[in-house]
Chains A and B, each alone.
Chain A
Amino acid sequence: MSAILTIDNLYKRFPIAGSKMVVQAINGVSLSIEPGETLGLVGESGSGKTTVGRCIVGLLEPSGGSIRFRDTDLALRRQHRRQLAGKIQFVFQEPNESLDPRMKIGETISEPLLPLKLDRETRRRKTADALALVRLDPELLNAYPSELSSGQQQRVGIARAMVTEPELVVLDEPTSALDPTARAEIIDLLRRIQAERNTAYLFISHDLSTVRFISHRVAVMYLGMIVEQGDAETVFNRPQHPYSSGLLSSVMLPHPHLKMESSVSLKGEIPSPINLPKGCFLASRCPFVVDRCRHEMPPQEIVGKRHAVHCFRHADVAATVPASDTFNTFMREAERILGRAVPGGAVPPDHSIQHQLAGKGTST
């Protein structure tokens, strides 16, 4: 396997100014992403998702562990900045805050090309191509961000990331600020670009149903640790960590009869990352807790093909609910409900997407 990104035992601590206290934001994260793959990174706010993304693109300096891009150690990113230029990009959450209001769209999109030392004509062509890639009208090159809807602004954010033809894009909650229709368009766009260019994505989000549909694999973060990671279908259909199970049980699909089955309903909130609890970080909120969990950090166990979990009682968690494929059921239902009386005749079932979903899992 030739991973494009490999993170090994990453730590990030933020000292609190004026005190001896330290925010332990990331506590030993390991993950890898392959070319053309989407890894969904999910968890509540404060779980450290964004910090991981920021360490990857170099906005933050890790306190420990390593991040490798292909064979390059990113701790040495300054020495390798020529090879790395434009290879890893970032898309921010708030499109209107991440675009410079005084820069024209064209200038914003072409800015990442500047370090690549291209001639003006190539820059112009690449900028136009990026705009076409996200399906924005060429006339918008001379517009300012304030003239655009937030969906269009986020397309600009994506065009700016894609203009250098990166191999990896870190997307930090790219759709949370958007309306449902704009969100769906952005997701389609990202999938299309990935199919065309084989770009790898780290998709950071707390919107689990979007993650389910865009990710090949998913990593569930809690208090700076990845507590479960595996193929999206496997983790969503039969989570083995109580936290994953609890997160999934809170997903509300727009169908009155479809709900994720779970024996876990998470109470309370994520503990403070300043004083990390002893033992398993979830122990204070976990219905499966046993005495051992309060003293001892559960080690990572491999429970299936590329499926790893940190929980002493993962087998019990998995056994409490029947494996169910709620998301695929939901999609079939949506096709049945919305497919009737479609303008211009019946819509053929969308085999492409069903196939894509089915192909991702290990169970099929």
Chain B
Amino acid sequence: MTTVVLPPQTGSARTAEPLIEVRNLRVTFPSSNGEPKEVLKGIDLAVQPGEIVGLVGESGAGKTTMARSILGLPPPPGRISAGEVLFEGRQILKLSEPELRGLRGRRLSVVVPNPRAELNPLLTVGRQIASMARIHLNVGSQEAQKMALQILRDVQIPDPERRLNAYPHELSGGMAQRVVIAMALICNPAFVISDDATSGLDVTVQAQILDLLAKLAADQGSAMLFITRDVGITAHFCSRTAVLYSGEIMEMASREDLFLRPAHPYTLMLLAAFSHSPTLRESWSVPDTGVRRQTRAGCQYAQRCPIAQPVCRAERPAFAEIAPGHFARCHFPVRPA
């Protein structure tokens, strides 16, 4: 096992060995002006066994890039330009493709949004789920079918025997999402990434899926990174939440700290958007000029920040621990009153 004192998370009260640790992850995309555009700008994140960590951000923040890059699959044409991902003591980004294939779906899995696009329309649900077990766990087809049936029961699909023989088009959106979750969970992965997996669903179905994920995480002891743009979910579902903005984690804290004592002006702006108070929103945002300059130096948020000072445009703030377990990348974090 490695003994490192690097990532800020270990400075908190948590002392256990993290299950997965992302260090200084950088992903770049080629751009038309020749200078590669950095979409993830040095992500540090650790998740403990059994922990559910939220990652919130608006479109374009880099959420999906992050979900896929952790598995060593940056969305093309992006590429991982720096950083490492440690999972169960192994350097994921240095593994060969066959080694990675053995890990993905088996120990590490991802639940994607838009389940219908992910399922093969020509194969029955049962075959698709069972193939995960056959490939990764080396079980016979009979055993795999049995496991598929059990996992369909676990994800609370009504009438699971019949659904095994259903084709994806015969399923409702909520049902298809459960099938994708079943596929992600059938091999008892140690780490599950849920990439906006509930956003297309009705609130009632979403509530059922969240209950299910929490229960399965608890039963199997698996950890989860729950990626969403709905901060309401992370306030209730995740023990810790990281706020992603423009490829950087701006703030990370326990749910109590993040939602009751937010410190980063971006987090405050995001929460103000849910408060339905125009006054609060106006006080935490600056009028949108429509111009997005890519700033190399300085804080990524400086342009939109109502409390930005000259230093914010010149110097990138450090990801500092402003209270035990509460981190913010800001020169002037808002202190609790």
| Residue among A179, A246, A247, A342 making CB contact with B284, cutoff 8 Å | A342
A347 and B235 within 8 A (CB): no
Cβ contacts under 8 Å, B208 to chain A: 266-267
Cβ contacts under 8 Å, B234 to chain A: 254
CA separation between A252 and B290, bound complex, in Å?
Answer: 31
The main secondary structure of chain B at its interface with chain A is helix
List B236-282 residues whose CB lies under 8 Å from chain A: 236-237, 255-256, 259-262, 268-281
Cβ contacts under 8 Å, A343 to chain B: 283-284, 306-307
Cβ contacts under 8 Å, B233 to chain A: 252
What residue of chain B has the Cβ atom nearest to residue A184's Cβ?
B273
Q: Does B202 contact A (CB under 8 A)?
A: yes
A250-B203, A340-B334 known; A179+B280 contact, CB < 8 A: no
Cβ contacts under 8 Å, A181 to chain B: 58, 269-270, 273, 281, 285
Cβ contacts under 8 Å, B310 to chain A: none
Cβ contacts under 8 Å, A252 to chain B: 230, 232-233, 235-237
Number of interface residues of B (CB under 8 A): 53
A254 and B232 within 8 A (CB): yes
Q: Does A45 contact B (CB under 8 A)?
A: yes
Cβ contacts under 8 Å, B271 to chain A: 254, 334, 337-338
CA separation between A337 and B268, bound complex, in Å?
Answer: 9
Cβ contacts under 8 Å, A150 to chain B: 59
A135 to chain B, nearest CB (A): 10
Q: Does B164 contact A (CB under 8 A)?
A: no
A184-B281, A256-B255 known; A250+B204 contact, CB < 8 A: yes
Q: Does B336 contact A (CB under 8 A)?
A: yes
A328 to chain B, nearest CB (A): 11
CA separation between A45 and B206, bound complex, in Å?
Answer: 12
Q: Does B329 contact A (CB under 8 A)?
A: no
Q: Does B174 contact A (CB under 8 A)?
A: yes
CA separation between A228 and B237, bound complex, in Å?
Answer: 29
Cβ contacts under 8 Å, B293 to chain A: none
Q: Does B335 contact A (CB under 8 A)?
A: yes
A340 and B205 within 8 A (CB): no
What residue of chain B has the Cβ atom nearest to residue A214's Cβ?
B276
A350 and B236 within 8 A (CB): no
Cβ contacts under 8 Å, A213 to chain B: 276
A206-B203, A252-B232, A267-B208 known; A353+B277 contact, CB < 8 A: yes
1/0 contact string of A207-227 vs chain B (CB within 8 Å): 011100100000000000000
Cβ contacts under 8 Å, A73 to chain B: none
CA separation between A255 and B261, bound complex, in Å?
Answer: 11
B276 and A184 within 8 A (CB): yes
Cβ contacts under 8 Å, A206 to chain B: 202-203
CA separation between A222 and B186, bound complex, in Å?
Answer: 34
A198 to chain B, nearest CB (A): 20
A334 and B207 within 8 A (CB): no
Cβ contacts under 8 Å, A339 to chain B: 280
What residue of chain A has the Cβ atom nearest to residue B61's Cβ?
A179
Q: Does B122 contact A (CB under 8 A)?
A: no
Cβ contacts under 8 Å, A353 to chain B: 276-279
Q: Does A289 contact B (CB under 8 A)?
A: no
Q: Does B231 contact A (CB under 8 A)?
A: yes
Q: Does B4 contact A (CB under 8 A)?
A: no
Q: Does B173 contact A (CB under 8 A)?
A: yes
Interface size class of A (residues with CB under 8 A): 35 or more
A147 to chain B, nearest CB (A): 10
Q: Does A129 contact B (CB under 8 A)?
A: no
A335 and B280 within 8 A (CB): yes
A53 to chain B, nearest CB (A): 18
B233 to chain A, nearest CB (A): 5
1/0 contact string of B172-185 vs chain A (CB within 8 Å): 11110000000000
Q: Does A265 contact B (CB under 8 A)?
A: yes
B165 to chain A, nearest CB (A): 19
List A220-252 residues whose CB lies under 8 Å from chain B: 246-247, 249-252
Q: Does B158 contact A (CB under 8 A)?
A: yes
Q: Does A44 contact B (CB under 8 A)?
A: yes
A46 to chain B, nearest CB (A): 8
Cβ contacts under 8 Å, A180 to chain B: 58, 229-231, 270, 273-274
Q: Does B1 contact A (CB under 8 A)?
A: no
A334 and B273 within 8 A (CB): no
Q: Which of A246, A254, A353 has the most chain B CB within a 10 Å cutoff?
A: A254
What residue of chain B has the Cβ atom nearest to residue A179's Cβ?
B58
1/0 contact string of A324-357 vs chain B (CB within 8 Å): 0000001100110111111110011010110000
Q: Which of B275, B278, B307 has the most chain A CB within a 10 Å cutoff?
A: B275
What residue of chain B has the Cβ atom nearest to residue A340's Cβ?
B337
Q: Does A253 contact B (CB under 8 A)?
A: yes
Cβ contacts under 8 Å, B276 to chain A: 184, 187, 209-210, 213, 331, 353
Cβ contacts under 8 Å, A246 to chain B: 204
A180-B231, A256-B259 known; A350+B203 contact, CB < 8 A: no
Cβ contacts under 8 Å, A256 to chain B: 235-236, 255-256, 259-260
Cβ contacts under 8 Å, A330 to chain B: 275
CA separation between A74 and B262, bound complex, in Å?
Answer: 51
Residues of B that sit less than 8 Å from A by CB: 58-59, 158, 172-175, 202-208, 229-237, 255-256, 259-262, 268-281, 283-285, 290, 306-307, 334-337
**What are 16 A-B interface contacts by the 8 Å CB criterion?**
A45-B173, A137-B290, A179-B58, A180-B270, A251-B203, A252-B235, A255-B235, A256-B259, A256-B260, A334-B271, A334-B272, A340-B337, A342-B284, A343-B284, A343-B307, A353-B278
Residues of A that sit less than 8 Å from B by CB: 44-45, 137, 150, 179-181, 183-184, 187-188, 206, 208-210, 213, 246-247, 249-256, 259, 265-269, 330-331, 334-335, 337-344, 347-348, 350, 352-353
